[in-house]
C-alpha cells in the first residue's frame, strides 16, 4: 500500500516499541525507494522516541503515515503521550541531558536522523513529536 496509508499503535511496553519500529521498516521496504541507510535512520529515531513515550511519557501512541506531497514520497510517525510533558525542550534536546538513567541522546539524535522534526509539549498535559523522512 502507498500514500494515504495510516495506522496507529499503542506504546506501553518495549514490545510495543519493537512492533512500531518493525512496521516502519516494513513500510519503507515496501515502497522500494528508501535506501537501507534511510530506513535505519528512521527506524532508529522511531525506536528512541517510542522509548521516550514508554519511559518518560507514561505510555501513549505512535501513528504511522505514508504521504505524497509535491511528488515526494514520505513516511511520518507521530508520537503522542499524556505524560508530564517537558519543561524546557531546548534543554531536553541537548546531547547528554537526561532526567532518567538514559544517555540523553534520544531527542537530539533523532532530530539529526530525520528530515522534519517537530515537538510540542505542555507541562502536565503531555508531549507530541512528529518525524518525517522524505524521498
Ligand atoms: N515523551 C516525553 N515525556 C516527558 N519527558 C520527555 C519525553 N521525551 C523526552 N523527555 C525528557 O527529555 C529528556 C531527554 O530525552 P532523551 O534525549 O531521549 O534522553 P533519555 O531518554 O536518555 O533521557 C528525558 O530525560 C526526559 O526528561
Ligand atoms: Mg530517550
What is the DSSP secondary structure assignment for residue 76, as one 8-state letter? Answer: E
> What is the domain extent for residue 94?
6-134
Q: What is the mean pLDDT of residues 1-21?
A: 96
Residue of 48, 52, 87, 129 with the most ligand 1 atoms within 8 Å of its CB, for mutation: 52
Measured from CB, residues less than 6 Å from any atom of ligand 1 are 48, 52-53, 56-57, 81, 83-86, 92, 97-100, 102-108, 127
Residue 30 is assigned to a structural domain of this protein: yes
Does any domain span residue 114? yes
Residue 135: per-residue pLDDT: 94
Q: Per-residue pLDDT tens for 58-111?
A: 999 999 999 999 999 999 999 999 999 999 999 999 999 999 999 999 999 999
From residue 104, alpha-carbon distances to 52, 88, 107 in Å are 10, 14, 8
Please give the Cα distance from 64 to 102 (Å, whole number).
25
Quote the mean pLDDT of the chain: 97
**Would 23 be classed as within a structural domain?**
yes
CB atoms within 10 A of CB 15: 8
pTM comes to 0.97
CA of 131 to the centre of ligand 1 (A): 16
Indicate which CATH number applies to the domain containing 105: 3.30.565.10
Closest ligand (CA of 99): 1
**1 within domain boundaries:** no
Q: How many structural domains comprise the chain?
A: 1
Amino acid at each position: 500500500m502507498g500514500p494515504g496509508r495510516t495506522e496507529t499503535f499503542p506504546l506501553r511496553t518495549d514490545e510495543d516499541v519493537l512492533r512500531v519500529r518493525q512496521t516502519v521498516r516494513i513500510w519503507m521496504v515496501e515502497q522500494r525507494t528508501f535506501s537501507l541507510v534511510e530506513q535505519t535512520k528512521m527506524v532508529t529515531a522511531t525506536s528512541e522516541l517510542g522509548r521516550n513515550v514508554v519511559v518518560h511519557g507514561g505510555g501513549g501512541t505512535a501513528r504511522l503515515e505514508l504521504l505524497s506531497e509535491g511528488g515526494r514520497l514520505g513516511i511520518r510517525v507521530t508520537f503522542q503521550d499524556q505524560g508530564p510533558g517537558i519543561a524546557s525542550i531546548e534543554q531536553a534536546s541537548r546531547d547528554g541531558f537526561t532526567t532518567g538513567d538514559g544517555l540523553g541522546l534520544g531527542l537530539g539524535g533523532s532530530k539529526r536522523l530525520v528530515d522534519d522534526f517537530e515537538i510540542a509539549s505542555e507541562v502536565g498535559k503531555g508531549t507530541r513529536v512528529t518525524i518525517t523522512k522524505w524521498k
